[in-house]
Structure 1
Amino acid sequence: MDIKFISQGNFSSLLQNSQIDLAILPLGSTEQHGDHLPLATDTLIVEHISKILSERARMILLPSIFYGVSYEHEPLFNISLDYNVLVDLISNICNSLYKQGIKRVFVINGHHGNLGLLQYVGQNLFTKYGIESNFFYFINYWQMIDQKFDHAGEIETSLMLAINPELVKMDVSRQGFDITNEKDKDLYKMGLNMSINSPGGFVKFTKNGIWGNPQNATIDKGQKMLVQIIENTLKLFADPRFV
């Protein structure tokens, strides 16, 4: 249920009747995704996933956060927040929801650069507001599928083809950095760390800002990934350790 369209009275009624007391927050980024994908790709993907999850799991769907920590994409386009700003922003949102009676908040994260800061939100909620650890959880959607890390490559391009094909320009897609040999697995891991930890490091490593090969993307692949993401995330929601 999208909170943007819920009145105060309806919100209070839902909580009082214990119909809905969980919330889901899509977190993405605004940054380059090659010439073939929009700047808001990460957010559009998690927004779509979160909408389905909120309906299937009966959760309050919160407005998306379109900005993340994206300094690794310098000098290509990005709008970045400092990690402490984003930690405080998410913590403020969670604290407000906690005071309104929400029992748990799940962030569905669509940007790898946000991963580090999300590990500190729970700590921040506890030390600043006294909110226990079973209130806040985050899930990185790409960990719900079998494929490896990708940026504007086959995975993200396939997902966007399945979600909104009109926003994908396959005719200008270009292959980026791609690991194809088994012997390069260690290099793959090293590159992942370098790309995330160093401002400007992603572009230095990938050259064109793309990780993977978007030319292998198809709508069918994207649809299958979406099903896998939704089903695996719903299994996590049903895990008693989240209660």
Structure 2
Amino acid sequence: MYAADRTWPELGDYVAEESVAIVPLGSTEQHGPHLPLATDHLIAEGLAREASERTGFLCTPTVNVGVSPHHRQFHGTMWVDAPQFRDYVESLTRNLTYHGIDRVVYVNAHGGNVQHLREVGRRLRDDSACYAVEWMWDESIPDLVEEVFERNGPHGGPKETAMIQHLAPDLVREEKLTAARDNGLPDVDAAEHIQKYGARTFYDAIENSENGVFGDQTDATAEIGERLFEAATEQLVRLLEWLDDRPIEDLLAPAHVDPQPGSRRE
């Protein structure tokens, strides 16, 4: 059920029976010479809408701009600062709780959002507003990603390329896949700035890759993208069903261990 396509009485019928919501989040940022700026939010929305169709759970509109200052040197990249992103997502989620939602899955497709969505989930859980959890699509299927790609990459690599070849093939510049690989960083282990003496000595993608992407994009195909999409969707559906089955009391923050603070005060 896609929220923006429904009327308010229809949504009233939903929350009378269900209390789960899916919130897709991505980014609008460079993904090399071969993929659109929309890559991350297209993947997030595609997975969220598919899982919504399969389960019947509510899916909200997509948050298209995320925490992406580490790609700022490349034309077109958009971002919001981390505190504003966290506050926005928290406010959006509290809006959902006002309407009766008490479990939220953040369907995320941008690595820069991860720690901030985790922080928002903690805030909401700690004050018993709701249970909100971040879900990153590729982290749900790590074995499959490793199996299908010899040289994967964390950004603009074959896994994201394959997903867009499956979801929006007209947006992939197929003739630039070889250049994306050759002018980027095909082998992440070869990056000079990844780590020195135990410290991450870089902040921006351009410090490790001239064109901002990693991995061997020529390994990607639409058929592999379909496999990744299906496997990740199955994992998301399982998460949603697990969440729906749990009593909300089991999801919220546990009580302080006994004795409770102040319990012996007369």
Q: What TM-score, normalized by structure 1, do the two folds share?
A: 0.86
Match of 2:214 among 211, 214, 227: 211
Secondary structure of the corresponding residue to residue 237 of structure 1: helix
Q: Give the deviation of 1:152 after TM superposition.
A: 1.4
Secondary structure of the corresponding residue to residue 208 of structure 2: helix
Match of 2:141 among 123, 137, 145: 145
Q: Work out the CA distance in 2 between the residues paired with 1:240 and 1:113.
A: 25
**RMSD (Å) for aligned C-alpha atoms:** 2.5
- Whether 1:135 and 2:139 are equivalent positions in the alignment is no
Secondary structure of the corresponding residue to residue 137 of structure 1: strand
Contact 1:179/1:188, CA 8 A, preserved across alignment: no
Match of 2:165 among 136, 161, 164: 161
Q: How does 1:40-119 map to 2 (within 5 A)?
A: 40-77=38-75, 78-119=77-118
Determine what percentage of the aligned residue pairs are the same residue: 27
Q: Give the deviation of 1:221 after TM superposition.
A: 0.6
Match of 1:24 among 6, 11, 22: 22
Q: Work out the CA distance in 1 between the residues paired with 2:91 and 2:121.
A: 12
Q: Which residue type is aligned with residue 38 of structure 1?
A: P
Query: What CA deviation, in whole Å up to 9, does each residue of 1:20-58 have, x standing for no partner?
Result: 321101100010011211101000011000000111122
Q: Which residue type is aligned with residue 123 of structure 2?
A: N
Match of 2:185 among 150, 153, 177: 177
Does the C-alpha gap of structure 1 residues 124 and 234 become closer, same or farther in structure 2, counting only changes over 3 Å? same
Q: Which residue type is aligned with residue 209 of structure 1?
A: G
Contact 2:103/2:243, CA 8 A, preserved across alignment: no
Rg: which structure is higher?
2
Q: Work out the CA distance in 2 between the residues paired with 1:169 and 1:160.
A: 11
Contact 1:22/1:104, CA 8 A, preserved across alignment: yes
Q: How does 1:180-191 map to 2 (within 5 A)?
A: 184=189, 190=195
> Would you say how many aligned residue pairs link Structure 1 and Structure 2?
231
Q: Work out the CA distance in 2 between the residues paired with 1:3 and 1:63.
A: 7
Q: What TM-score, normalized by structure 2, do the two folds share?
A: 0.79
Does the C-alpha gap of structure 1 residues 185 and 208 become closer, same or farther in structure 2, counting only changes over 3 Å? closer
Match of 1:222 among 222, 225, 239: 225
Contact 2:26/2:109, CA 8 A, preserved across alignment: yes
Q: Work out the CA distance in 2 between the residues paired with 1:154 and 1:50.
A: 21
Secondary structure of the corresponding residue to residue 76 of structure 1: coil
Cross-structure match for 1:7: 7
Secondary structure of the corresponding residue to residue 138 of structure 1: strand
Q: Where does the alignment leave 5 or more consecutive residues of structure 2 unmatched?
A: 146-151, 247-266
Q: Give the deviation of 1:189 after TM superposition.
A: 6.9
Contact 1:31/1:40, CA 8 A, preserved across alignment: yes
Cross-structure match for 1:232: 235
